[in-house]
């Protein structure tokens, strides 16, 4: 009977290791982070119609208007001015047109972010 239980335990361990290895292989997170890692990214909450063109102070009213008219919520990062689709746009509700820091799971393969936490931040200063 002990051999039976040890065999079942060994099988469970092998299946768990295989499942973990497969999960990390599929993650697709930016390639720089491990599966499930959350990264903090600074940028602007914009709309799919304007994208990076609305990633600045003063675009808040236009962004809200476009989103109300049916455009999708997107995130434009400060570093590359890359437009990211947001898999859970309700997390950014109330931050339309604002500069924010987001803690998110980033998937570079699908060009999407899944926002875990959002913090409004001041507009970055530009160097002359």
Q: From the first residue on, what is the mean pLDDT of each consecutive set of 10 residues in the chain (128 residues)? A: 81 71 42 62 96 94 96 96 96 96 94 96 73
What's the CA gap between 100 and 4, in Å, rounded?
Answer: 56
What's the CA gap between 18 and 21, in Å, rounded?
Answer: 5
Q: Where are the domains of the chain?
A: 39-120
What is the model's pLDDT at position 128? 45
Task: Choose among 65, 66, 54: nearest CA to 99.
Answer: 54
What is the model's pLDDT at position 15? 78
What is the model's pLDDT at position 5? 78
Both tokens of 58, joined, read 């003063």
What is the model's pLDDT at position 51? 95
Fold adopted by 39-120: OB fold (Dihydrolipoamide Acetyltransferase, E2P) (2.40.50)
pTM of the model: 0.70
Both tokens of 27, joined, read 């993650």
What's the CA gap between 78 and 76, in Å, rounded?
Answer: 7
Both tokens of 80, joined, read 């590359």
What is the model's pLDDT at position 21? 55
What is the model's pLDDT at position 32? 42
What is the model's pLDDT at position 34? 41
What is the model's pLDDT at position 49? 96
What's the CA gap between 50 and 20, in Å, rounded?
Answer: 40
Residues 6+ apart with CB under 8 A from 81: 52, 55
What's the CA gap between 80 and 73, in Å, rounded?
Answer: 18
């Amino acid at each position: 009977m002990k051999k039976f239980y040890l065999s079942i335990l060994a099988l469970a361990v092998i299946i768990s290791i295989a499942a973990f290895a497969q999960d990390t292989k599929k993650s697709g997170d930016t390639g720089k982070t491990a599966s499930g890692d959350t990264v903090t990214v600074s940028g602007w909450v914009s709309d799919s119609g304007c994208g990076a063109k609305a990633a600045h102070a003063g675009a808040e009213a236009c962004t809200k208007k476009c989103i109300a008219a049916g455009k999708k919520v997107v995130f434009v990062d400060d570093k590359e001015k890359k437009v990211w689709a947001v898999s859970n746009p309700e997390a950014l509700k109330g931050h339309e047109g604002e500069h924010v820091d987001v803690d998110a799971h980033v998937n570079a393969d699908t060009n999407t972010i899944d926002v875990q936490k959002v913090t409004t931040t001041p507009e970055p200063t530009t160097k002359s």
